[in-house]
Structure 1
Amino acid sequence: MIAAPRYQTAACTLLIVLFASPALAQSPEESVGPWGVSSSASAFRNHTEWFPKVASAGVTSVRLFPGWRSFQPELGQWNWKQGDQLVESAQQHDLQLTAILMGTPPGSKFLHAFPVDNLPAWSQFVEGTVAHYGDQVRYWEVWNEGNGGFNDAHHTTVDYAKLAATTYDAAKQGNANAQVGLTVASFDPDYLQQTITAMRDAGAADKFDFLCIHPYEIAGGLRSKNGEIPFLWMNQTLRNMLQEVAPEKADAPIWISEVGDKLNAGGRTPTTDIDAANALVKIYTMAIAQGIDRTQWFEAQDPYSEESGFGLLNRNGEGRPSFAALKTLASQLGEKPNYLGWLALGEQAAGYGFVFAGPQANLMVAWSPVGTQHSLTFPTMVVVADPITGKLHRYEAGETVTLTNAPQLITSLSPTLVAQAIANAEKPFPWGGDYRDAKTVRFAAGQTDETTGIFPLHRDAYPTVTFADGSSGLLVQGDIGHPLGLFVHPTFASLQTRDYYVRVKVRRVSPGNVGMNLLYEYADTQGKGPYKNSGRWFGVAKNASGWQTGVWHVKDACFAKMWGNDITIRPEQSVPFVIGEIEISTVPFE
């Protein structure tokens, strides 16, 4: 038996001392709450080691299942050994399995190509597998990330629509209670929209039960100021899309069936084990608050034969800080959390607060934006707990609580605060503003930036320059490796908006070539990548002084923030220059 790491011990102390809540338990045949994990295929071999560990942390669902060739090494022949072992182990630990229906028939030259040329064999596989497991496995995803790397033949959304509709019919034939989900890599609502539209055109718009997203990139933006904004609007963006193309499915459950944060010592944003744990707390909290039914962290334990760094457990089975954080959060919010509402905290109401009715007491998960701290006072005594270490601190009424970017659990909230959160529950999230009626949004850089609907990523990587005339902007390196990415607020325009005008104001800081391209997010049907070059170069004349303006017009955009940003200003063969202002409009500039 491996000794419990200090993070596990600390979390257990927190559970006992702070709230003393009961252990979680759930029959895998029933609907479960949001606490899930997803696993790589190679982790299948030692799932009996990590199943009981994640179950002890409050996990109630696991995304893991063998592929087609494991069940049918030859067409017409069945081998249930691996699947049966997995299902039996999951039942022993009260874990509900989410199964991925994926694979190609024996003899295919591809491993990850939609079997659209062999749908009868695929249907037989799906119906037989779903029937064999009956209500032991109720949730089935159609493929894994067919809009990304798991699409060897580069099939389109029309192909995925055919595969999904065929899968739905076969699964329901195998078990009428089966639930069938569509799934995408990253956050790709347009791919889902195109798929469902193709299904609708074929008379099959209702042939899915839930949607799955894998928003790694948007989650990665949480270490950039305002990164919470696109994350908090994913559910509403998908709801709006469903209302547009499949209104009968507008209330379909939405899952995050993969998300994670890989430990990384290098790069622009190094990730420590504490960073990953903090990200986990924010991701689960905000997913629940916006109405996402289930979140499955990738992954449970670092596998031996694939890249490491994602796991709640390391390769030795020892819990990382993220394991302790998940255990704390699952216990204190309860098996099926009761979200009450949000609070905008601190100076300029910029801090994030999400209030829940926990099993034992009301509590708030709270943090401040990246790079800021907020001083809070409460009208009554509160207890603040670190979800990772279990450290507790009692603050008397009126005593200052310092809120940082590391999330904290705050309990003993006053009835007034709870009532305020409940009153906010049905209101749009306030952070970043509301631009539903706006035609134009703007970002202006300065000592204090003006962010009216446009937000730069990693703003702290771009120094602010102030000129002699008092105007200012952010300094951009002139090489292609230092682009400036920005996203628009999710309430601006809609997923269906294609026409945008982009205007940028730039200024020299030295002699030499100053030039750039605009890359923008567009609607892609094959998963080749969400960004496209506008095809129009903007350069500044060599003798130009003062601010210079460039304008682009794009006609096939789709601002979904799939990889975290909607546009990128990319310098090429340029000396450094300053960007003072960027505007995006749905109408021509005057």
Structure 2
Amino acid sequence: MTHGRAAALAVLSPIVICALLSGIHPAYAAAPGDVTADGVRDPQDDASPWGIASGAEWAADYPKFNLALQTVGVRWLRSSYPWHAIQPTEGTWIWRPMDDLVANARANHIHLTAGFGYLATWASADGGTYAFPIKNIQYWRDYVSAMVARYHNDIKYWEVWNEFNGGFAVNATPQTYAELVRETYDAAKKIDPTAKIGVSVANFDVGYLDAAIKAGGADHFDYICVHPYENLAALAEGGEISFLSMAGALRQMLAANKQRTDIPLWITEIGATAPVQPDAAGDRRQAEALAKAYLLSIASGFQRVFWFEARGPSYGKETDFGVIRADWTPRPSYDALKAMIDALGQKPQYLGWLDMDKGGYGFLYRGRNEDVLAVWSPPGTEHKITFPADVGVIDLAGGDSTLRAGQGLTLTGTPLLLTKVPASLARQARDKAGKPFPWGGDYAKAEVVLSRLGAVNVDSGVKQVDLQTTLSVTAGAESWRRTDFTRPEGDGRYVQFRVDPQFVPYGTTNLEITAVVRRAAPETVAGMNIDYESLKGYRGGPNYQEIPGDEQWHELTWKVSDANFVGGWGWNFRLSALGSAGEFDVKEVRVRKSTTSQESKGAADP
């Protein structure tokens, strides 16, 4: 036992000390180079962004999938066993499964990041694993202390819970989470001052992080973790700019709360499904999503990204998230991950951007041995580019070819990695680093942004999300979109929108939202609420407005004073027809910055 380990045990309760001493695993004997308070380098101080997250359903497969991940160059795994499995009864500690997980990760040269949670059944309010309050917070302190004392040589990064703002915490509030964060931070740092404590939320819930910090979590975390699944899904409809804005929104929130703005940002879950059985189109879409998730995250300032997941699960919908199928065959997404790691190496550095053929995406990175330019086109478009010299072209399957000088290359929605980037283009990209991205327009100084809906929407700072949930209607030279109540699961009762982040940066609270609408059938009553993203999460009514009963177009306007348009679920506001008897048409939506703070509603003819 090293002096550092003895000191760590000294602050534990006698019960915890006995548990640790009775089951010390040989793999956790201190090794030369362990981090100590006198500044020995952290062996897990690894710049690699390449991570995989594993859920509970398939976590036991790590002996096989860790090897597969190590083979392609994945350096981080997010996985751990919950409190109730490690300490099933008070005073009983079962370490072997977690010991084996940690030892296997080490054997495969993979860094493990773990989480504290959920509740031990004997310590919870109702004998379950999610319901608060904890009977005695000392139980939680002992659990955190025991975990850090046992694994501090191997695990340096610990998340407090998983998606506390989601379905994994019952009877819980931001105040509950803030207390848990404080207790975890203090207990962990007593054992290992070099331990890093992360706060974590489902989706991209900046508002919940803000509330937890204000509730007492300030200055008690070392990194932030988000799970922006919906923001990734929005890329299929051109959501790159909103995705790229996430890191900035987090740093603005930190600044507003007087927290460190350079704190590391992690994405510890993000993913997209593919069909269980091989399917060319479905597999390609997942591979594209995976590539964009890593490329955009690195470009926008996220330090580490964990794709969910290595293998499975399907959740009964004939699709799953894994880069490896249930039969252990690799998916195209696995090949895409390998292709990116091979080209970009373990320390990719974002250098700048290029506007490819006036609309195509281009992101320059310093790769393994040279500059690498990632390129693709927005959905439904193609851009053709040429270069003054030969360049290398790597596709997501790992295929490597040469594009001759002057030869055209057609960009599609599938990312390509270009090597041997001409020096003049690399300089242009570097010169643009830190400047606003060009795609979608410049709305930073605009007074109003809008979208005109029709057979083809015309967007000027507002974009409809999930276009397929509405129907296109054309009459003569005009067209508009109509709610579709026949859609399954009620999807057709919502018309969702996203606003350009330049127009509504974090801190923009007073907005005026106007919809130009009419009844689909004048004799059928129709109307809507507006749901919007606020400082306290998504909010709905009571703000219902009925559309007048005629064939004219009408303007319905709402004013909100607590907006927080960061795209937590991939959208900022929506017209909700849940209370409407009939369908309605939508011709235009507008968003204006308001100087008033009174929330109101009204309707008027244009």
- State the shift of 1:342 in Å: 0.9
User: Does the alignment pair 1:487 with 2:494?
Assistant: no
Which amino acid is the alignment partner of residue 376 of structure 1?
I
- State the shift of 1:576 in Å: 4.7
**What are the Cα deviations for residues 292-326 of structure 1, in whole angstroms up to 9, with x where unaligned?**
00000101112599876111111122111111100
User: Does the alignment pair 1:473 with 2:488?
Assistant: no
Work out which of the residue numbers 263, 270, 284 in structure 1 matches 2:294. 284
**Distance in structure 1 (CA, Å) of the matches to 2:353 and 2:339:** 20
Aligned residue number for residue 435 of structure 2? 427
Identical counterparts, % of pairs: 34
Aligned residue number for residue 119 of structure 2? 104
**Distance in structure 2 (CA, Å) of the matches to 1:402 and 1:196:** 47
Aligned residues: 546
For structure 2, the residue ranges without an aligned partner over 5 or more in a row are: 1-41, 597-605
Change (3 A) 1:460 1:304: closer
Aligned residue number for residue 528 of structure 2? 517
**Distance in structure 1 (CA, Å) of the matches to 2:400 and 2:507:** 48
Aligned residue number for residue 208 of structure 2? 191
Change (3 A) 1:570 1:303: closer
Work out which of the residue numbers 29, 52, 57 in structure 1 matches 2:72. 57
**What are the Cα deviations for residues 120-141 of structure 1, in whole angstroms up to 9, with x where unaligned?**
1101110121011123110000
**Distance in structure 1 (CA, Å) of the matches to 2:325 and 2:162:** 24
Change (3 A) 1:229 1:111: same
- State the shift of 1:214 in Å: 0.4
**Distance in structure 2 (CA, Å) of the matches to 1:531 and 1:271:** 34
**Distance in structure 2 (CA, Å) of the matches to 1:478 and 1:303:** 31
**Distance in structure 1 (CA, Å) of the matches to 2:419 and 2:327:** 35
Which amino acid is the alignment partner of residue 544 of structure 1?
E
* 206-215 or 238-247, which deviates more: 238-247
**Distance in structure 1 (CA, Å) of the matches to 2:140 and 2:422:** 57
- State the shift of 1:353 in Å: 0.9
Aligned residue number for residue 543 of structure 1? 550
Change (3 A) 1:392 1:94: closer
**What are the Cα deviations for residues 532-577 of structure 1, in whole angstroms up to 9, with x where unaligned?**
32323333333333x2111122334332211111111233545554
Change (3 A) 1:254 1:118: same
Q: Aligned with 1:410: secondary structure?
A: strand
Change (3 A) 1:305 1:401: closer
**Distance in structure 1 (CA, Å) of the matches to 2:485 and 2:142:** 56
**Distance in structure 1 (CA, Å) of the matches to 2:320 and 2:455:** 37
Q: How does 1:559-578 map to 2 (within 5 A)?
A: 559-572=565-578, 573=580, 575-578=582-585
Aligned residue number for residue 409 of structure 1? 417
Q: Aligned with 1:62: secondary structure?
A: strand
- State the shift of 1:411 in Å: 1.9
**Distance in structure 1 (CA, Å) of the matches to 2:456 and 2:533:** 31
Change (3 A) 1:477 1:337: same
Identify which of structures 1 and 2 has the higher relative contact order when contacts are C-alpha pairs closer than 8 Å and 6+ apart: 1
Asked whether the equivalents of residues 76 and 110 of structure 2 are also in contact (C-alpha less than 8 Å), the reply is: yes
Aligned residue number for residue 15 of structure 1? none
Which amino acid is the alignment partner of residue 392 of structure 2?
V
Aligned residue number for residue 368 of structure 2? 359
For structure 1, the residue ranges without an aligned partner over 5 or more in a row are: 1-26
Which amino acid is the alignment partner of residue 247 of structure 2?
N
Asked whether the equivalents of residues 532 and 540 of structure 2 are also in contact (C-alpha less than 8 Å), the reply is: no
The CA RMSD over aligned residues, in Å, is 2.6
Work out which of the residue numbers 375, 380, 392 in structure 2 matches 1:383. 392
Aligned residue number for residue 558 of structure 1? 564
Change (3 A) 1:245 1:450: same
Asked whether the equivalents of residues 533 and 573 of structure 2 are also in contact (C-alpha less than 8 Å), the reply is: no
Q: Aligned with 1:541: secondary structure?
A: coil
**Distance in structure 1 (CA, Å) of the matches to 2:181 and 2:284:** 39
Q: Aligned with 1:136: secondary structure?
A: coil
User: Does the alignment pair 1:214 with 2:214?
Assistant: no
**What are the Cα deviations for residues 333-352 of structure 1, in whole angstroms up to 9, with x where unaligned?**
01010221111112xx2211
User: Does the alignment pair 1:584 with 2:591?
Assistant: yes
Asked whether the equivalents of residues 376 and 412 of structure 2 are also in contact (C-alpha less than 8 Å), the reply is: yes
**Distance in structure 2 (CA, Å) of the matches to 1:228 and 1:99:** 30
Asked whether the equivalents of residues 313 and 320 of structure 1 are also in contact (C-alpha less than 8 Å), the reply is: yes
Work out which of the residue numbers 162, 178, 181 in structure 2 matches 1:164. 181
**Distance in structure 2 (CA, Å) of the matches to 1:271 and 1:28:** 41
Q: Aligned with 2:320: secondary structure?
A: coil
**Distance in structure 2 (CA, Å) of the matches to 1:420 and 1:252:** 29
Asked whether the equivalents of residues 507 and 578 of structure 1 are also in contact (C-alpha less than 8 Å), the reply is: yes
TM-score normalized with structure 2 length = 0.84
Change (3 A) 1:467 1:327: same
**Distance in structure 1 (CA, Å) of the matches to 2:314 and 2:385:** 45
User: Does the alignment pair 1:118 with 2:129?
Assistant: no
Work out which of the residue numbers 234, 240, 262 in structure 1 matches 2:246. 234
- State the shift of 1:471 in Å: 4.6
**Distance in structure 2 (CA, Å) of the matches to 1:271 and 1:73:** 45
Q: Aligned with 1:384: secondary structure?
A: strand
**Distance in structure 1 (CA, Å) of the matches to 2:388 and 2:565:** 42
**Distance in structure 1 (CA, Å) of the matches to 2:584 and 2:273:** 33
**Distance in structure 2 (CA, Å) of the matches to 1:397 and 1:563:** 43
Which amino acid is the alignment partner of residue 69 of structure 1?
H
Asked whether the equivalents of residues 278 and 406 of structure 1 are also in contact (C-alpha less than 8 Å), the reply is: yes
User: Does the alignment pair 1:418 with 2:426?
Assistant: yes
**Distance in structure 2 (CA, Å) of the matches to 1:193 and 1:494:** 15
- State the shift of 1:83 in Å: 1.7
Change (3 A) 1:524 1:145: farther
Q: Aligned with 1:544: secondary structure?
A: coil
**Distance in structure 2 (CA, Å) of the matches to 1:382 and 1:449:** 36
Aligned residue number for residue 381 of structure 2? 372
**What are the Cα deviations for residues 254-275 of structure 1, in whole angstroms up to 9, with x where unaligned?**
0000011022599xxx971111
Aligned residue number for residue 341 of structure 2? 330
Asked whether the equivalents of residues 343 and 420 of structure 1 are also in contact (C-alpha less than 8 Å), the reply is: yes
Change (3 A) 1:434 1:161: farther
User: Does the alignment pair 1:396 with 2:404?
Assistant: yes
- State the shift of 1:375 in Å: 1.4
Aligned residue number for residue 450 of structure 2? 442
Change (3 A) 1:252 1:314: same
Q: Aligned with 1:568: secondary structure?
A: strand
TM-score normalized with structure 1 length = 0.87
- State the shift of 1:585 in Å: 2.0
Asked whether the equivalents of residues 457 and 485 of structure 1 are also in contact (C-alpha less than 8 Å), the reply is: yes
Change (3 A) 1:114 1:298: farther
User: Does the alignment pair 1:245 with 2:254?
Assistant: no
Q: Aligned with 1:356: secondary structure?
A: strand
Q: Aligned with 1:252: secondary structure?
A: coil
